Amino acid sequence: MRILIDFTQIPLKKVGVGVYGYNLITWIDSLNDSNEYYIIIQNDDNCFSSIKNNKIKFIDINNRFFRFFVFRVILEQVYIPFLILTKKIDILHSLHYSFPLISFKAKRVVTVHDLTFFLFPRLHTFFKRYYFRLFTNLSARFCDKIICVSNSTKLDLIMYTKLDEKKVKVIHLGRDEIVPIVQQHQIVETCTKYNINIDKKYILFIGTIEPRKNILTMLKVFCAFRQQFSDYQLVIVGRKGWYFDDLFKFISQIDSSDIIFTGFIEAEEKPILLMGADFFVYPSLYEGFGIPVLEALSCCKPTITSNVSSMPEVAGDAALLIDPNSEEDMLSAFIELATNMELRKKLINKCPTQVEKFSWRIMTLETIATYNSIVGHDKCIDSTL
């Protein structure tokens, strides 16, 4: 069976969807799967340079044009159908909502990560808002299978599109199964690199700087928290996204000496900063999955996250769940993790059991099984690595 995966939708700096796509293809390379894969990818992205599998073929396209959204739409609707026809593709997998309207005889699989275009339309540009809402509805009607990354996303999708539940397959995202051993000198070096005071404790947040992540509320809570706990810093890791002017206006009006923005960091630096943190906070207003929460739990880090959308699904009882709209609730959780050693130990002990539920390997096996089921293949995959 020939499967085409559209990786052109994935940015160079991989967060969220990018982490998902990267791990899916990397694990396809690791598994003994008889399918043949074509990966269409921007030619400035060399993240798969180590893959030498003869069953995985990469089709490069010119990033000078197709990093622009409008041109990528043309590629999706014109060039990908051409590839489907010429490469005799059996299944097309679009990793990020949209897909070619013309697919000839190829079956279509689309991954839906969240429903922010419906739930938080004001947080997206006008064109993207309506484009992705349109394709989410078209997916419900025309795609052969829709993969949702959480049960929360599945319920949202059914609510907004009224699609047949049988077309939806929930496949949870995964986590790195081996957490690297972090030495103290690595923590010191990385903290020094990002101007984090090693003589103070720090609270860590990882995520794109955008309104949905609820960073402004977190900052207000931290300002109240440090009145009692002056030995703490707040470290915010992530690239600037959109609509962040109010956030930085607030920063300019307060003492920000204990608030550090690192910008985007490389994947290998995440566990280092996580290991060095006193606790992790992720007070998002909505997530399709919430990979940073799983990353924190994988490092057995005491964690605070929201009690809405998919985050309870990911965190289970291994994190403190709060109302993200309540500054009082969030402040109380900050104080609890700063002072209650028994609670911290309890949460840490629950982390290994919770994270065992999530695996990139299992995610990939379930995705391949989904491909096979669409065309009526009942063959088993040899999952030995």
pLDDT tens figures, 314-331: 999 999 999 999 999 999
Distance CA 51, CA 29 (A): 7
For residue 87, how many other CB atoms are within 10 A of its CB?
15
| Per-residue pLDDT band at 382 (split at 50, 70, 90) | very low
Instruction: Identify the domain containing residue 139 by its residue range.
Output: 2-174+359-374
Q: How many CA atoms lie within 13 A of 257 on its CB side?
A: 5
In a domain, 188, yes or no: yes
Examine the pLDDT at 9 and tell me if it is beyond 50: yes
CATH code of 258's domain: 3.40.50.2000
Say what the pLDDT of residue 275 is: 97
- Which DSSP symbol is given to 32? B
What value does the mean pLDDT take over residues 226-231?
A: 96
pTM of the shown model: 0.91
Residues 150 and 268 in one domain: no
In a domain, 384, yes or no: no
Distance CA 252, CA 219 (A): 12
Which are the contacts of 382, defined by CB distance < 8 A and separation ≥ 6? 31, 32
Distance CA 22, CA 17 (A): 9
Long-range contact list for 23-26, CB < 8 A, 24+ apart? 23/174, 23/360, 23/363, 23/364, 24/95, 24/360, 24/363, 24/364, 24/367, 25/51, 25/56, 26/51, 26/360
Residues 230 and 131 in one domain: no
pLDDT tens figures, 339-379: 999 999 999 999 999 999 999 999 999 999 999 999 876 55
In a domain, 385, yes or no: no
pLDDT tens figures, 289-305: 999 999 999 999 999 99
What value does the mean pLDDT take over residues 19-27?
A: 96
Q: Taking a C-beta distance cutoff of 8 angstroms, is the pair 145, 370 a contact?
A: yes
Distance CA 379, CA 51 (A): 25
Residues 132 and 189 in one domain: no
Indicate the helix (H) or strand (E) that contains 138.
helix 126-142
Name beta bridge partners: 37.
Answer: 3, 56
Examine the pLDDT at 127 and tell me if it is beyond 90: no
Distance CA 364, CA 64 (A): 31
In a domain, 160, yes or no: yes
Name beta bridge partners: 221.
Answer: none
Average pLDDT score, the chain? 93
In a domain, 258, yes or no: yes
Residues 146 and 239 in one domain: no
Residues 13 and 77 in one domain: yes
pLDDT tens figures, 163-187: 999 999 999 999 988 888 999 999 9
User: Percent of the chain having pLDDT more than 90?
Assistant: 82
Residue that is written with structure tokens 């984090």 in the block? 196
In a domain, 381, yes or no: no
pLDDT tens figures, 55-110: 999 999 999 888 888 898 999 999 999 999 999 999 999 998 899 999 999 999 99
Query: 3-state DSSP call for residue 186?
Result: helix
In a domain, 383, yes or no: no
Tokens of 348: 């840490």
Residues 324 and 262 in one domain: yes
Residue that is written with structure tokens 């964690």 in the block? 303
Residues 80 and 194 in one domain: no
Q: Taking a C-beta distance cutoff of 8 angstroms, is the pair 109, 91 a contact?
A: yes
Examine the pLDDT at 162 and tell me if it is beyond 60: yes
Q: Which residue has the higher pLDDT, 74 or 15?
A: 74
Tokens of 113: 């990560």
Say what the pLDDT of residue 385 is: 41
Residues 214 and 73 in one domain: no
Phi-psi sector, 214: left (phi>0), alpha (psi -120 to 50), beta: left
Say what the pLDDT of residue 384 is: 41
Residues 334 and 365 in one domain: no
Say what the pLDDT of residue 383 is: 44
Residues 189 and 321 in one domain: yes
Query: 3-state DSSP call for residue 383?
Result: coil
Residues 11 and 142 in one domain: yes
Say what the pLDDT of residue 287 is: 96
Examine the pLDDT at 380 and tell me if it is beyond 80: no
Q: Please count the structural domains in the chain.
A: 2
What value does the mean pLDDT take over residues 140-155?
A: 95
What value does the mean pLDDT take over residues 125-153?
A: 91
Residues 132 and 188 in one domain: no
Q: Nearest Cα to 2, choosing from 34, 36, 33?
A: 36
Max Cα-Cα span within the chain: 66
- Cα Rg of the chain (Å, integer): 21
In a domain, 100, yes or no: yes
